[in-house]
């Protein structure tokens, strides 16, 4: 069938962009190919790995599973808009301080997922952090330092002294929400 | 992976959505897109038009109405998992919603889309069956209700009338003092339920079970009420043996099948193990 283009306006990292796109264009391709924001990665393209995670109206979503037309009128934050070298976002700082990455391929998605998680739950337990990271796959780190990085960010965002050494392993598991 | 081409429109009312479906035979509704878009990317679904209902405000939210909990079709898994009314009155639903996929999926996926899609490994169908869900549906003939009994016809096939939109799902609140839970064995790769069990029960002070519901998803071609388990428990005195004996019937009412990951025998075994775990949670005292 004829692919009719539609005009979409999306606010990305505080700047408004208007483009004519095919309805089937995925948000991740819109960001990477139309806007040149290649910080958002494509790992699996099957909604599993989370490398493509961005904030859509403040919520972490997998941008390979969202159409650009669905984001018309919405606000998107990508890794490029989260912070910059002189003002790192607390999650970015956490990754730096706690060595939350190795090759770095998954990192933009993991950081955006963590930023979305902390926005929804500023005070997560270690178990909640691990559950919150279920939708991201990192083939390098083993996740230990990622969890530490998120704990660092949560502390920092609380405004308390950031440098508490928190053990990423071995805390007791307390299942929330039991009947 | 790129879906085949389609037209896209946003609608502001449910009536507009129904009209758009009627006017375009190849059209499909789009809610959170987290079942439909992956299928379209693999070209297992090739709708010619998507009717995006996600902006219809009145399809969102949770409220109590008489003895039912009404949930707007567009309410997301996250909203359900964190909703105070749901957590208080139907903890099993909050638990099931909190176990769907992952954080990002729960931010997008909706209860209406989940139950309309009817993936046999979805979590919410077990809860819907356990609490006598009723769908409010708007179609070309107007508003109607569709009960959950007989709703799941096969994998991805439901009794939802053509060209209709689920506006809300209501679940019957169990008698006060009932405990409920959802337990799940997630597929290690996909996270979907290999077996998921929703259970609810109430025990009288003398130890007799006077209300019980058990429903199973994941294991069969369609999710089902575990009637045989309920029959074995209702009116009986709670005991360890009773729970074990009842759980042995967990697969009796299902049409259980095997796949590459789990054989039929293994799935039947998992049904019993997870029904037993769920029952222990809702029947243990204190
Ligand atoms: C990576 C990943 C992991 C997942 N893991 C799980 C899991 O563990 N457990 C689980 O249960 N689910 C899981 N899901 C599926 C998820 O729950 C979906 O969000 C949900 O099944 C569909 O809801 P949606 O709003 O995204 O629907 P859509 O994808 O928008 O729609 C799905 C279907 O329902 C129809 N539809 C949507 N809304 C309505 C309505 N109001 N009335 C009538 N028809 C409607 C659509 O036309 C379409 O055919 C997962 C999804 C992904 C991508
Ligand atoms: S690229 Fe989107 S989840 Fe992997
Ligand atoms: S740092 Fe290499 S995949 Fe995560």
What's the pLDDT tens digit per position in B74-114? 999 999 999 999 999 999 999 999 999 999 999 999 999 99
Q: Which CATH architecture is the domain B179-283 placed in?
A: 2-Layer Sandwich (3.30)
Summarize pLDDT for B145-191 with one digit per residue, the tens: 999 999 999 999 999 999 999 999 999 999 999 999 999 999 998 99
- Strand B27-30: give its sheet, edge to edge: B7-10, B49-52, B27-30
Nearest-neighbour CA in chain B from A102: distance (Å): 23
pLDDT reading at A1 higher than 70:
no
State whether ipTM is beyond 0.90: yes
pLDDT level of residue A163 (50, 70, 90 thresholds) = very low
Chain B neighbors of A21, CB-CB under 8 A: none
- In this prediction, residue B284 carries a pLDDT of 86
- In this prediction, residue A174 carries a pLDDT of 37
pLDDT reading at A173 higher than 70:
no
- Residue with the larger pLDDT of the pair A125 and A161: A125
- In this prediction, residue A93 carries a pLDDT of 97
Strand A59-62 to strand B27-30: parallel, antiparallel, or no bridges (unpaired)? Answer: unpaired
Summarize pLDDT for A101-127 with one digit per residue, the tens: 999 999 999 999 999 999 999 999 999
The pair of three-digit structure tokens given for residue B244, joined into one six-digit string: 């074990």
The residue ranges of every structural domain in chain B are 7-52, 57-172, 179-283
Instruction: Please give the distance, rounded to the nearest whole angstrom, from the Cα atom of residue A92 to the centre of ligand 1.
Output: 32
Please tell me the distance from the alpha carbon of residue B117 to that of residue B78, in angstroms, as a whole number: 18
**Considering only alpha carbons, which residue of chain B is nearest residue A63?**
B104
The pair of three-digit structure tokens given for residue B72, joined into one six-digit string: 């707007």
- Residue A40 touches chain B, beta carbons under 8 Å: no
Please tell me the distance from the alpha carbon of residue A13 to that of residue A16, in angstroms, as a whole number: 8
Task: Specify the residue for token string 């405004």.
Answer: A159
pLDDT reading at A178 higher than 80:
no
The arithmetic mean of pLDDT across residues B239-248, rounded, is 98
**CA distances from residue B142 to A179, B93, B136 in whole angstroms, order as listed:** 38, 29, 11
CATH number for the segment(s) B7-52: 3.30.43.10
The arithmetic mean of pLDDT across residues A40-69, rounded, is 98
Please tell me the distance from the alpha carbon of residue B178 to that of residue B211, in angstroms, as a whole number: 8
- In this prediction, residue A49 carries a pLDDT of 97
The pair of three-digit structure tokens given for residue A46, joined into one six-digit string: 């099957």
Q: Which ligand is the nearest neighbour of the Cα of B166? A: 1
| CATH class of the domain whose range is B57-172 | alpha beta
pLDDT reading at A179 higher than 70:
no
Instruction: Please give the distance, rounded to the nearest whole angstrom, from the Cα atom of residue A9 to the centre of ligand 2.
Output: 23
* Average pLDDT score over chain A: 90
- All domains in chain A, ordered by first residue: 1-82 (3.10.20.30), 83-172 (1.10.150.120)
* Average pLDDT score over chain B: 97
CB atoms within 10 A of CB A170: 7
């Amino acid at each position: 069938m004829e692919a009719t283009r539609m005009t979409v306006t999306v606010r990305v990292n505080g700047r408004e962009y208007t483009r004519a796109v095919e309805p089937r264009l995925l948000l991740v391709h819109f960001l990477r190919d139309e806007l040149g924001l290649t910080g958002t990665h494509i790992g699996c393209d099957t909604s599993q790995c989370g490398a493509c995670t961005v904030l859509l109206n403040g919520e972490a979503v997998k941008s390979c599973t969202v159409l650009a037309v669905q984001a018309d009128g919405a606000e998107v934050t990508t890794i490029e808009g989260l912070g910059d070298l002189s003002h790192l976002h607390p999650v970015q700082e956490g990754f730096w301080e706690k060595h939350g990455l190795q090759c770095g391929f998954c990192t933009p998605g993991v950081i955006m997922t963590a930023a979305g998680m902390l926005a929804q739950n500023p005070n997560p337990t270690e178990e909640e952090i691990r559950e919150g990271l279920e939708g991201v796959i990192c083939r390098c780190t083993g996740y230990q330092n990622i969890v530490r990085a998120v704990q660092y960010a949560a502390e920092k965002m609380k405004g308390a002294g950031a440098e508490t050494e928190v053990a990423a392993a071995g805390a007791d598991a307390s299942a929330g929400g039991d009947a | 992976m790129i879906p085949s081409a389609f037209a896209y429109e946003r609608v502001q009312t449910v009536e507009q959505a129904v009209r758009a479906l009627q006017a375009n035979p190849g059209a499909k509704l789009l809610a959170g897109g987290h079942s439909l878009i992956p299928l379209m990317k693999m070209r297992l679904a090739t709708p010619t038009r998507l009717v995006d209902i996600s902006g219809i405000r009145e399809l969102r939210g949770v409220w109590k109405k008489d003895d039912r909990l009404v949930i707007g079709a567009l309410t997301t898994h996250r909203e359900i998992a964190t909703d105070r009314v749901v957590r208080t009155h139907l903890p099993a639903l909050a638990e099931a919603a909190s176990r769907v996929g992952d954080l990002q999926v729960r931010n997008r996926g909706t209860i209406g889309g989940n139950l309309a899609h009817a993936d046999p490994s979805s979590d919410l169908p077990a809860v819907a069956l356990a609490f006598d869900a009723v769908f409010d549906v708007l179609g070309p003939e107007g508003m109607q209700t569709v009960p959950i009994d007989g709703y799941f016809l096969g994998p991805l096939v439901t009794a939802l009338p053509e060209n209709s939109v689920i506006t809300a799902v209501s679940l019957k609140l169990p008698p006060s003092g009932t405990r409920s839970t959802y337990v799940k064995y997630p597929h290690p790769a996909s996270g979907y339920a290999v077996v998921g069990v929703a259970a609810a029960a109430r025990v009288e002070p003398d130890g007799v079970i006077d209300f019980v519901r058990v429903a199973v998803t994941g294991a069969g071609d369609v999710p089902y009420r575990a009637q045989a388990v309920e029959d074995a428990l209702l009116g009986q005195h709670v005991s360890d043996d009773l729970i074990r004996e009842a759980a042995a019937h967990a697969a009796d009412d299902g049409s259980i099948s095997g796949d590459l990951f789990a054989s039929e025998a293994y799935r039947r075994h998992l049904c019993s193990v997870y029904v037993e775990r769920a029952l222990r949670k809702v029947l243990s005292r204190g």
